[in-house]
Each structure stands twice: as C-alpha cells, then as structure tokens.
Amino acid sequence: TVQFFTPKLLAGHSLLLTAGPTREAIDPVRYISNHSSGKMGFAIAKAATDMGAEVTLICGPVNLATPAGVKRVDVISTRDMLEAVMSRVDNHDIFIGCAAVADYRVADVATDKIKKSSKDMQLALVRNPDILATVASHSPRPFTLGFAAETQDVERYAKDKLLRKKLDMIAANDVSNPELGFNADNNALKVIWAKGQKDLPPTDKQTLAGQLLAIVAERIAILKDDNK
C-alpha cells in the first residue's frame, strides 16, 4: 500500500509497549506459554512510529522483524518483562500492554531435565505480578491502555479490567473467533474508556493499530484540555 501522508498525531509522545507471549520455564527444556504471535503489538509499534512517537517495544519470544526506528528489548519471563518495563516507565508518557502475559509461573523450576516415571505428575504454579496494573498504579503514570483477550462476555470482562486495573482505556478482542485475534492477521477491537466506547470492525492488524492509536491521541488531547 502507498501511504502518502500519515498525520503525526503522536509527535512529541513516547510509547512504551509490551508484545508477544511470556514464557515460564518448567525445567531446562520445557516451558509454559500461549499462542500470542506478537503481530498486534508489532503493528502498534510501527503505526506509532509512523505517527511520530518514540517507541520502546518490550517483547517476549516472537518471530517478527523489528519495525524501523523502534527500540526493541527482548525478554522471556513475566518477571523479566516487568523489570524491563518498570526500569523505563518514567521515560514514557504512554504505556500499552499488548503482551499475552503468563498469569502463573512454575513454583520450583527444576535445574535438571525432569525424567518421567510410571506415576502421573503435578506442577505447582504461583501467581505472576500484573505488569499493566503495576504501571497503572505507578506515580507519575503514563496514559495506560490495556488489552483484554476474552472468549465470552467480552464487554463485561473488559469493563471490569478497565476499572479493576485503573486503566485509561482498554481494547477488548474476542479470541474465540480463530479468524481474529491471537495468531491471525486480522483483528477487531472494542475500545472502552470511562466516558465512551468505540467498535473497530475486523480489518488487518496494521490498519487497526492506526485506528486504535488515533483514538489514544484524541483521548490524550481531551485529557490535556480538561486539565487546563
């Protein structure tokens, strides 16, 4: 596609962004993770750069090329991702949590490969920190946008996450449709903030990223005006 002109709606802003899955080790050869491809996050990184933002992308294990101009930091586990985010959050005025973060990690990671026995086995898991909620409760905090991957009651669960994590905005996607979300090239989003919402219908992730960031830019401008 030929783009003659992308309005620099995010000029002067710096975006910190998480993308991809996180991975939690079980032993030196095995791990727990999820189907996130990182495509949506990388599309947001590219769109934000095109719109004039400085972008730092903290990503889990993905197979994607870094968009030109984007600063990329690779991490593996949820706790690594949290550390990479919190050490940089003060240098950014927008945070977008696009990563599919592992909610649990293995309680005791084995130092050697676990051998099978004749018995069944159980794996003890402990809760991981919530990166998005940690950013949202940090002071001073950036404009904070989260994602909500849901398979049912999309709007209700997304609104619940918006309030519970004290976010400025949430972008919900219905991952029950295999054509959209997670590993797919297309996606659709229901974008919700305290005073309104907007549906972005199914399209390719790059177009969708631009539409989402246009809403972010508009909300940030309105918040700035409100504070005058």
Query: Does residue 45 touch ligand CTP according to CB under 6 A?
Result: no
Region 98-157 residues binding ligand CTP, contact defined as CB under 6 A: 99, 101, 103, 128, 130-132, 146-149
Query: Does residue 36 touch ligand CTP according to CB under 6 A?
Result: no
Between 52 and 74, CB nearer to ligand CTP: 74
Stretch that binds Ca ion, among 9-17, 24-32, 97-105, 177-185 (CB under 5 A): 97-105
183 is catalytic: no
Residue 83 tokens read as: 């550390």
Between 117 and 139, CB nearer to ligand CTP: 139
- The option from Ca ion, ligand CTP, none interacting with 215 (CB < 5 to 8 A, set by class) reads none
Q: Interior CA angle at 168 toward 162 and 171, to 5°?
A: 60
Find the shortest distance in angstroms from Cβ 100 to Ca ion: 7
Q: Alpha-carbon distance 194 to 43, whole Å?
A: 25
Q: Alpha-carbon distance 228 to 104, whole Å?
A: 42
Give one word for 20, left, alpha or beta, with left for phi > 0 and alpha for psi -120 to 50: left
Q: Alpha-carbon distance 168 to 142, whole Å?
A: 9
Near Ca ion by CB under 5 A: residue from 103, 104, 125, 186: 103
Q: Alpha-carbon distance 147 to 18, whole Å?
A: 11
Between 47 and 99, CB nearer to ligand CTP: 99
Which class for 221: exposed (0-12), middle (13-18), buried (19 or more C-beta within 10 A)? exposed
Q: Are residues 106 and 141 in contact, defined by beta-carbon separation less than 8 angstroms?
A: no
Q: Alpha-carbon distance 142 to 193, whole Å?
A: 15
Query: Does residue 161 touch ligand CTP according to CB under 6 A?
Result: yes
Between 52 and 188, CB nearer to ligand CTP: 188
Which residues does the annotation mark as catalytic? 34
| Residues that bind ligand CTP in the complex, under the rule CB under 6 A | 18, 78, 97, 99, 101, 103, 128, 130-132, 146-149, 161
| Residues that bind Ca ion in the complex, under the rule CB under 5 A | 103
